[in-house]
Amino acid sequence: MKHIVLFLSVAAIALVAAGLTDVAYAQEEGTGGMSDGSKLIGAGIAFGVAAGGAGVGLGQVGAAGLAVISENPALQSKVFIFVGMVESIAIYGIVMMFIILGQ
């Protein structure tokens, strides 16, 4: 877990440092906002983090759901509701990706 936190911290610092180097260059008048590269990086991070989190959550919920279903098969529909709630996190990531790319 410590390695993942360290990797994400280094990656975030590198992305911020890469973004600060663009400030020194002159820009054309009237152009503002994000470049296409920044949009792609932001969209990738938004979807990647959401999909990764949904994957971890789905593993936990799926394992617990199988244990519940094995003890009481009548609770199968409730387990599917929880699985669907976890999968919706990835859908939110896709929506954010399209919002970022649409700007």
Q: What is the pLDDT of residues 19-64, one digit of tens each?
A: 654 555 555 655 556 577 888 998 999 999 999 999 999 999 999 9
Domain residue extents for the chain: 35-103
DSSP state of 29: T
Buried b (16+ CB within 10 A) or exposed e, 5-22: eeeeeeeeeeeeeeeeee
* CATH topology classification for 35-103: F1FO ATP Synthase (1.20.20)
Q: What is the pLDDT of residues 7-23, one digit of tens each?
A: 676 666 666 555 654 55
**pLDDT over 90 (residue 76):** yes
